[in-house]
């Protein structure tokens, strides 16, 4: 017998919001999309900023783990352009500085040191500054931003966007020390800090130790090469460039080479396309720029003449499934490909030469520091770690989420509370009924296909390094794309005691999500549903209490519900209702749902933009009324 | 009703029948009935039955009279022929349609008021004539469309929404049609599709007149305490007397359930109705016995449901349905050229001349 679902546990409805569940920072995606639909770009930006800190940056560069899991994929094959819509909010917002949290003049007396000014450390500062902490960030380089600045090329992320969002944080009064490499953690720990956060990233590009590697200046490590380009140390490159590796770094390298004058850029892949590490959209963009990608080429040596690389030799391989599911390479030929320059883009590692191994920080057998997955603390009390430094290269949004969690820990640490007591999430449920057949949101299913991003003309974009390729959505594209969102946070909420088992909801549901049947063992019950289960248990079932008239149960397969609200409209007793589930996420010093003084988005959203809104108390929620 | 149309997007697991159609292809437009109306569930069951029988929508004629029930053909088989006639006159329209084209699959949807009050005369005669059609009475005990007056099927002692008590004797369409010689008589409940869909399928395949009286609660005017046609009352007094499965020609009966308690009745096209869990002393082909049994159950306060009576298919060439009785040609009349059907004034003149 399956037990009734406890919908008071925030996780149940949160899971239904596939994108938000997939976003490491739990960004309230459907709500921000509705705000955009409603022309409330500033509100949408602020709602984004609450969880992901960098809406403008992420609206262009995010790894978007939310998109492949978007419900829309399961319906028409293409996710909502969640990331591009984020950019719309950022592009069209008004000045938001008035809505940033006010920083207390009187400090709380606690001093925090952050190592590295990447997204992880910046998030820690963002979360702690409003609480009265004094945060110092030590950065090795001459500018903050970490890889967002040094490695993500400007044709993907304009500097203006980057600096603006970094400045929102620095302007809170962060003590940023540039050109300040930390060369000894022991020495830093000697200083008078209450906690240390290590956000130093994974700065070491992987090597390819093949014959000839060290005999030419024209063989580069990808991330170092991109950094040199960024700082202007490199402003040209050879005609024929080979990029080794086919991950996202390789994509940025090959596209940068194109812009530095290369006319023949080849990306050399050891395997075939299904195994490429690069995100599909980055691959697409590189291919659009006429970069050639060669599969099944395994590098074997560099060919050097007069101290210059002139070619590389590759084994031509085929892959066959070997033991334990791993692919086995079989060499059947070799090939020499001429080139003037080689860029190695085969991965990154962390490196901690500056952490003394006798100060108590435990390292594992791969020489990675051991960090607690919940508290983000290392084995030295008061020393925390997050971002790429903690468990190897990830992406910006993970770095941000690590920063939030580490900030919660640091705050607890400084207040002497146990770090393992994580503040709980909350959930508000608010009916969206406006009238007999009227909902606060656009409940119809729009059959529009995913809107295609327009790109700057090929000729034009190669003129300079800093021409942003993606043009962003115009209003028409935006209005089309927002309607593709299925409002998965507007939940079908069921009250069993009201149901008279008339079957109206079962009959109307376009996706056959609903079943009234007798309870039974899981294996049996799951065979008796109106439509076959396709993604169970990843997509949950809702199981009701026993129905009053027959003692049967209502079962809902959440998998494909399009949140059209027809079940609720056709229900004569309002046993089904459409309710917005508002996930309330805690941050450092803020209980779930609480907001900083001066950052009351709720007031802003509801009162049309008064900057001096009252702080909203715990449990305050966005209602999203009027969207769509 | 709803302001949005039911979106066309559907479950990817939706299967197609041999015509390449999904169940969704058998839908009509969005219902404008009250949310929770039993009639909508019957519509859903009809959609299911047509889809499962793999009947092409354009081979179907759907007809109705007036009432909430009369509106429902709009909500299924949007590609079928349809006629929404005058109150109580659906039987004549269907008779006409079927007379003209005997190949049409005819389904008439009526209400208890439409059939048993204003249309009583028409109803009686379409049964007698044995028109080859499936006749559905969506029985809610009230005139739903005109806001809940008692209909001719309201039970003595049942109360209207505002408390008035009905004292007039009800007409029971099941007993009536048994009396009038119907060859297929069933009662079901909108809230029990497991029972209803197979009966609908059998009714569509039955050659001759088939009646299904479906208790179909009116959520708005007759779903209160005191009603004998409410969801709660029907469930409390429900007696699924016989379980009938519809078995298409090619299928083995034993495949669907235990062979032991099966009694199978052959239909004219080779399909069979397999009865199971029938009371020991019950013979669904014995008209008198069935009549008595239903009366007895009624006295016990039960609503006897199921495919209650079905006659064995007559031998080839002995069909007593409308076309058999009229000895019409095998080809649909509608397929003959007009000149052949209507020989013209000259011929009439000559014919009349013979009698002068
Ligand atoms: C080419 C490339 C493209 C990428 N593109 C994307 C993308 O499009 N989207 C995405 O989400 N992610 C992308 N990433 C990954 C993303 O940039 C990183 O995951 C993210 O920047 C990690 O943030 P972080 O704060 O942990 O570290 P970093 O951004 O690496 O920042 C660490 C900072 O610490 C400084 N530092 C290191 N050691 C010391 C020290 N001892 N003392 C003082 N300072 C120190 C470094 O100089 C650096 O500024 C990309 C990565 C690369 C290499
Ligand atoms: C000739 C004529 N008389 C009366 C009416 C008014 N009228 C409309 S529907 C209806 C009763 C319908 O009752 P029923 O057949 O039970 O259908 P329901 O609405 O309950 O499904 C009546 C009397 C009419 N439309 N036409
Ligand atoms: S909202 Fe209701 S009717 Fe619409 S798809 Fe979801 S369960 Fe089905
Ligand atoms: S429509 Fe409402 S009352 Fe009818 S079965 Fe569905 S939930 Fe129950
Ligand atoms: S009035 Fe009664 S019969 Fe008519 S649609 Fe409403 S519930 Fe159905
Ligand atoms: Mg009626």
Q: At residue A588, does pLDDT exceed 50?
A: yes
Contact indicator for A107, A53 with CB cutoff of 8 Å: no
Q: How far apart are the C-alpha atoms of A35 and A45, rounded to whole Å? A: 9
Q: At residue A585, does pLDDT exceed 90?
A: yes
Q: At residue B292, does pLDDT exceed 50?
A: yes
Q: At residue A604, does pLDDT exceed 90?
A: no
Tell me how close the Cα of A415 comes to any Cα of chain B, in angstroms.
52
Report the range of poorest mean pLDDT among A245-259, A595-609, B52-66, B324-338: A595-609
**B265 with B349, same domain?**
no
- Residue-level pLDDT at B262: 67
In this prediction, residue B314 has a pLDDT band, given cuts at 50, 70 and 90, of: confident
- Residue-level pLDDT at A323: 82
pLDDT tens per residue, range A526-546: 999 999 999 999 999 999 999
Binding site membership of B33 for ligand 5 (Cβ less than 6 Å)? yes
**B269 with B345, same domain?**
no
- Residue A505 sits at the vertex; the CA angle it makes with A499 and A510, to the nearest 5 degrees, is 160
CB atoms < 10 A from the CB of B342, how many? 11
**B341 with B305, same domain?**
no
**B169 with B286, same domain?**
yes
Residue nearest to atom 8 of ligand 4 (CA): A499
Tell me how close the Cα of A280 comes to any Cα of chain B, in angstroms.
25
pLDDT higher for B117 or B341?
B117
Task: For CA atoms B251, B252, B256, B260, give the dihedral sign.
Answer: positive
Top residue of B4, B188, B236 to mutate, by most chain A CBs within 10 Å, is B4
The CATH label, of 1.20.1440.230, 3.50.50.60, 3.40.50.10470, 3.20.20.370, for the domain at A103-202+350-415 is 3.50.50.60
- Residue-level pLDDT at A436: 84
pLDDT tens per residue, range A148-198: 999 999 999 999 999 999 999 999 999 999 999 999 999 999 999 999 999
In this prediction, residue A87 has a pLDDT band, given cuts at 50, 70 and 90, of: very high
Secondary structure letter of residue A486 according to DSSP? -
Contacts of residue A572 in chain B, CB cutoff 8 Å? 34-37, 219
Binding site membership of A277 for ligand 1 (Cβ less than 6 Å)? no
Collect all residues with Cβ–Cβ distance below 8 Å to A88 and sequence separation of at least 6.
A36, A41, A59, A472, A473, A478
Collect all residues with Cβ–Cβ distance below 8 Å to A323 and sequence separation of at least 6.
none
Contacts of residue B48 in chain A, CB cutoff 8 Å? none
- Residue-level pLDDT at B66: 98
Specify the CATH number for the domain of residue B52: 3.40.50.970
Q: Classify residue B173: in a domain, yes or no.
A: yes
Tell me how close the Cα of B54 comes to any Cα of chain A, in angstroms.
19
Overall number of domains in chain B: 2
Structure-token pair, residue A588: 């450092």
Question: Which protein residues are within 6 Å of ligand 2, measured from CB?
Answer: B 66-69, 87, 111-114, 118, 138, 140, 142-146, 151
In this prediction, residue B339 has a pLDDT band, given cuts at 50, 70 and 90, of: confident
Summarize the confidence of residues A273-298 as an average pLDDT.
Answer: 95
Q: At residue B63, does pLDDT exceed 70?
A: yes
The CATH label, of 3.40.50.300, 3.50.50.60, 2.40.30.10, 3.40.50.20, for the domain at A205-345 is 3.50.50.60
pLDDT tens per residue, range A482-491: 999 999 999 9
Cα dihedral A223, A224, A225, A231 in deg (nearest 10): 110
Q: At residue B259, does pLDDT exceed 80?
A: no
Summarize the confidence of residues A76-105 as an average pLDDT.
Answer: 96
CB atoms < 10 A from the CB of A554, how many? 24
Q: Which residue in B61, B50, B4 sits closest to B27, CA to CA? A: B50
A439 → chain B, closest CA residue: B3
First to last CA, chain B: 62
Q: At residue B272, does pLDDT exceed 90?
A: no
In this prediction, residue B242 has a pLDDT band, given cuts at 50, 70 and 90, of: confident
In this prediction, residue B318 has a pLDDT band, given cuts at 50, 70 and 90, of: low
Q: Is B36–A560 a contact, with Cβ atoms under 8 angstroms apart?
A: no
> A17-95+429-486+597-623: which CATH topology?
Fumarate Reductase Iron-sulfur Protein; Chain B, domain 2 (1.10.1060)
First to last CA, chain A: 40
Range A490-581 classified under CATH 2.40.240.10: no
- Residue-level pLDDT at B252: 63
In this prediction, residue A218 has a pLDDT band, given cuts at 50, 70 and 90, of: very high
Q: At residue A65, does pLDDT exceed 50?
A: yes
Residue nearest to atom 3 of ligand 2 (CA): B87
H-helix or E-strand containing B290? helix B287-299
Q: Classify residue B279: in a domain, yes or no.
A: yes
Domain boundaries, chain A: 17-95+429-486+597-623, 103-202+350-415, 205-345, 490-581
Q: Which residue in A34, A419, A623, A444 sits closest to B5, CA to CA? A: A444
Contact indicator for A248, A347 with CB cutoff of 8 Å: no
Q: Classify residue B13: in a domain, yes or no.
A: no
- Residue-level pLDDT at B5: 93
Q: Classify residue B34: in a domain, yes or no.
A: yes
Q: Which residue in A286, A568, A336 sits closest to A431, CA to CA? A: A568
Contact indicator for B47, B76 with CB cutoff of 8 Å: yes
Q: Is A511–B13 a contact, with Cβ atoms under 8 angstroms apart?
A: no
**SS3 of A99, please?**
helix
Q: By percentage, how much of chain A surpasses pLDDT 70?
A: 95
Q: Classify residue B323: in a domain, yes or no.
A: no
**B237 with B344, same domain?**
no
pLDDT higher for A310 or B312?
A310
pLDDT tens per residue, range B83-120: 999 999 999 999 999 999 999 999 999 999 999 999 99
Binding site membership of A504 for ligand 4 (Cβ less than 6 Å)? yes
Q: At residue B316, does pLDDT exceed 80?
A: no
**B291 with B243, same domain?**
yes
Q: Is B36–A571 a contact, with Cβ atoms under 8 angstroms apart?
A: yes
Contacts of residue A437 in chain B, CB cutoff 8 Å? 1-4
Domains A17-95+429-486+597-623 and A205-345 share a fold: no
**SS3 of A44, please?**
helix
Q: At residue B151, does pLDDT exceed 70?
A: yes
Contacts of residue A562 in chain B, CB cutoff 8 Å? 7, 9
**B222 with B335, same domain?**
no
DSSP E strand boundaries for A1-147: 111-115, 134-138
Q: Which residue in A173, A127, A171, A169 sits closest to A148, CA to CA? A: A169
Q: How far apart are the C-alpha atoms of B261 and B276, rounded to whole Å? A: 5
Q: Classify residue B84: in a domain, yes or no.
A: yes
Residue nearest to atom 5 of ligand 3 (CA): A561
**B289 with B332, same domain?**
no
**B52 with B143, same domain?**
yes
Q: At residue A215, does pLDDT exceed 70?
A: yes
In this prediction, residue A93 has a pLDDT band, given cuts at 50, 70 and 90, of: very high
In this prediction, residue B250 has a pLDDT band, given cuts at 50, 70 and 90, of: confident
Nearest to B1 among A437, A532, A572 (CB): A437
Binding site membership of B220 for ligand 5 (Cβ less than 6 Å)? yes
**B346 with B279, same domain?**
no
Which ligand ends up closest to the CA of B70?
A: 2
In this prediction, residue A613 has a pLDDT band, given cuts at 50, 70 and 90, of: very low
Summarize the confidence of residues A553-566 as an average pLDDT.
Answer: 98
Contact indicator for A48, A32 with CB cutoff of 8 Å: yes
**B337 with B239, same domain?**
no
Q: At residue A344, does pLDDT exceed 90?
A: yes
**B297 with B346, same domain?**
no
Range of the domain at B70: 23-310
Summarize the confidence of residues A85-113 as an average pLDDT.
Answer: 96
Summarize the confidence of residues B319-347 as an average pLDDT.
Answer: 91
Rounded to the nearest integer, the mean pLDDT of chain A is 94
Structure-token pair, residue B56: 């092409």
Q: Classify residue B190: in a domain, yes or no.
A: yes
């Amino acid at each position: 017998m399956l037990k009734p679902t406890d919908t008071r546990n925030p996780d149940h409805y949160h899971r239904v919001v596939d994108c938000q569940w997939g976003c490491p920072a739990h960004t309230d995606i459907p709500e921000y999309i509705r705000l955009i639909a409603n022309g409330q770009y500033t509100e949408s930006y602020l709602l984004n900023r609450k969880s992901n800190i960098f809406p403008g940056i992420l609206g262009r560069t995010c790894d978007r783990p939310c998109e492949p899991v978007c419900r829309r994929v399961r319906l028409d094959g293409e996710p909502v352009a969640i990331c591009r819509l984020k950019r719309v909010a950022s592009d069209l917002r008004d000045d938001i500085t008035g809505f940033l949290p006010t920083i207390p003049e009187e400090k709380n007396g606690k001093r925090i040191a952050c190592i590295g000014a990447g997204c992880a450390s910046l998030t820690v500062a963002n979360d702690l500054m409003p609480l009265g902490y004094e945060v110092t960030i030590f950065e090795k380089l001459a500018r903050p931003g970490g890889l967002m600045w040094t490695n993500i090329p400007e044709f993907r992320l304009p500097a203006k966007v980057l600096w603006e969002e970094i400045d929102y944080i620095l302007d809170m009064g962060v003590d940023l020390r540039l050109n300040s490499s930390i060369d000894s953690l022991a020495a830093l720990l000697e200083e008078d800090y209450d906690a240390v956060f290590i956000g130093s990233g994974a700065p070491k590009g992987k090597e390819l130790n093949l014959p000839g590697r060290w005999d030419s200046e024209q063989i580069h490590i990808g991330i170092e090469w991109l950094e040199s380009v960024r700082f202007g140390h490199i402003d040209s490159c050879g005609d024929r460039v080979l990029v080794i590796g086919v991950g996202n770094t390789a994509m940025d390298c090959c596209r940068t080479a194109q812009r530095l004058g290369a006319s023949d850029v080849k990306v050399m892949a050891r395997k075939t396309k299904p195994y490429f590490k690069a995100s599909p959209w980055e691959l697409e963009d590189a291919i659009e720029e006429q970069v050639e990608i060669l599969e099944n080429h395994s590098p074997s040596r560099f060919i050097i003449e007069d101290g210059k690389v002139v070619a590389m030799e590759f084994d031509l391989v085929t892959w066959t499934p070997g033991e334990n599911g791993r692919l086995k390479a079989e060499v059947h030929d070799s090939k020499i490909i001429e080139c003037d320059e080689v860029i190695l883009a085969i991965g990154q590692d962390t490196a901690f030469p500056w952490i003394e191994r006798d100060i108590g920080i435990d390292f594992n057998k791969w020489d990675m520091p051991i960090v607690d997955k919940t508290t983000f603390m290392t084995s030295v009390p008061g020393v925390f770690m997050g971002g790429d430094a903690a468990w190897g290269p990830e992406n910006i949004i993970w770095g941000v989420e690590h920063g939030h969690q580490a900030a919660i820990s640091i705050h607890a640490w400084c207040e002497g509370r146990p770090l393992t007591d994580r503040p709980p999430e909350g959930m508000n449920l608010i009916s969206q009924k406006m009238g007999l057949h009227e909902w606060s949101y656009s409940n119809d299913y729009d059959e529009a296909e995913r809107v295609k991003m327009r790109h700057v003309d090929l000729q034009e974009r190669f003129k300079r390094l800093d021409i942003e390729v993606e043009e962003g959505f115009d209003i028409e594209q935006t209005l089309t794309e927002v309607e593709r969102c299925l409002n998965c946070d507007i939940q079908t909420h069921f009250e069993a005691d009201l149901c008279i088992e008339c079957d109206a909801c079962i009959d109307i549901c376009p996706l056959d999500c609903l079943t009234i049947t007798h309870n039974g063992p899981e294996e049996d019950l799951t065979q008796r549903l109106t439509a076959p289960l396709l993604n169970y248990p990843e997509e949950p079932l809702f199981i009701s209490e026993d129905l009053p008239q027959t003692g049967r149960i209502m079962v809902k397969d959440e998998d494909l519900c399009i949140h059209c609200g027809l079940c609720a409209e056709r229900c004569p007793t309002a046993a089904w209702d459409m309710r917005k589930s508002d996930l309330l996420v805690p941050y450092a010093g803020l209980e779930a749902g609480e907001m900083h003084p001066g950052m009351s988005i709720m007031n802003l959203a509801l009162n049309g933009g008064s900057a001096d809104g009252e702080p909203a108390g715990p449990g305050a929620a966005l209602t999203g009324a009027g969207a769509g | 009703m709803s302001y949005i149309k039911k979106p066309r997007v559907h479950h990817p697991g939706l299967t197609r029948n041999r015509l390449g159609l999904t169940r969704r292809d058998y839908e009509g437009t969005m219902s404008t009935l009250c949310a929770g109306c039993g009639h909508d569930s019957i519509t859903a069951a009809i959609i299911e039955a047509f889809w499962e029988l793999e009947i092409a929508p354009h081979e179907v004629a759907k007809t109705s009279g007036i009432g909430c029930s009369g509106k429902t053909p709009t909500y299924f088989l949007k590609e079928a022929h349809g006629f929404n006639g005058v109150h109580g006159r659906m039987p004549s329209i269907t008779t006409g349609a079927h007379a003209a084209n005997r190949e049409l699959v005819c389904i008439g949807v009526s209400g208890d008021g439409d059939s048993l009050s204003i249309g009583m005369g028409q109803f009686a005669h379409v049964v007698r004539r044995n028109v080859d059609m499936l006749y559905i009475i969506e029985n809610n005990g009230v005139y739903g469309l005109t806001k809940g007056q008692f209909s001719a099927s309201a039970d003595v002692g049942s109360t209207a929404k505002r408390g008035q008590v009905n004292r007039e004797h009800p007409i029971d369409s099941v007993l009536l049609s048994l009396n009038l010689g119907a060859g297929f008589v069933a009662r079901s409940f909108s809230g029990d599709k497991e029972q209803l869909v197979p009966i609908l399928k059998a009714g569509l395949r039955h050659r001759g007149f088939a009646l299904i009286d479906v208790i179909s609660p009116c959520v708005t005017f007759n779903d209160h305490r005191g009603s004998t046609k409410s969801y709660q009352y029907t469930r409390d007094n429900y007696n699924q007397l016989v379980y009938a499965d519809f078995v298409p020609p090619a299928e083995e009966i034993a495949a669907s359930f235990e062979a032991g308690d099966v009694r199978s009745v052959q239909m004219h096209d080779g399909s069979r109705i397999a009865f199971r869990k029938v009371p020991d002393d019950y013979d669904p082909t014995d008209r008198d016995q069935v009549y008595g049994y239903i009366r007895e159950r009624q006295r016990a306060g039960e609503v006897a449901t199921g495919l209650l009576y079905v006659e064995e298919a007559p031998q080839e060439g002995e069909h007593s349905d409308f076309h058999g009785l009229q000895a019409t040609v095998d080809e649909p009349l509608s397929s003959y050229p007009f000149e052949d059907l209507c020989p013209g004034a000259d011929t009439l003149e000559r014919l009349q001349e013979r009698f002068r």
